[in-house]
Amino acid sequence: MNIKIKHGGMISGMGEVADRIWRCIPCKDNPKQRWFWPINDPEPGAHVHFDPNDPTSKGYGGSTLDFHMETRETISVKGPWHGNTDSMFRDTGIDLRDQHLTLVILSKEIGGDFRNPEMVDVIYHEDKPVLGRFDRYKDIIQAHPEANYYYMESHGGSSIGPCGGCRNQG
């Protein structure tokens, strides 16, 4: 079986923030810095944001994003950054590391070209995204030593390449 990879559209940071209800927590080491995560999303780990509390911050090009909080207030943040759950966990103790939707495909060969890749001789595929760690594709690669190529898709984008670099990294 072969699977053609479809291209996704661009995601607007402002739109992503506007469509969700947020919770925030200050960092342990610097309470003026904060982390935000959505409470009304099936994959909150994919949408964490960091407020460095720096008026010169260039996150989202230095734009101001409005976070509509669960408390019904709106917190405006200049230059926040899209963050990751590993950093958020280290800074706050809030653990959303297993709250990412990802889709994984493994194959023996890869075809097509850069703009239109195709997974050829597929040996593992998921019909829909699965909730778990962002890098769970590495565990799946370990379980399928016959695979030579992987494709991983998440809310924020995708990656495709040879499995060799992912083996024995846990």
State pLDDT tens for residues 83-135: 999 999 999 999 999 999 999 999 999 998 888 899 999 999 999 999 999 99
Strand order in the sheet with 49-51: 22-26, 34-38, 49-51, 81-82
Distances (CA, A) of 151 to 53, 85, 97, 99, 147: 36, 21, 20, 19, 11
pLDDT of residue 27: 95
pLDDT at residue 24 tops 60: yes
pLDDT of residue 9: 64
pLDDT at residue 31 tops 90: yes
pLDDT of residue 57: 95
pLDDT of residue 11: 63
Confidence category of residue 10, pLDDT binned at 50, 70, 90: low
pLDDT of residue 115: 83
Contact predicate 49/156, CB 8 Å: no
pLDDT of residue 168: 58
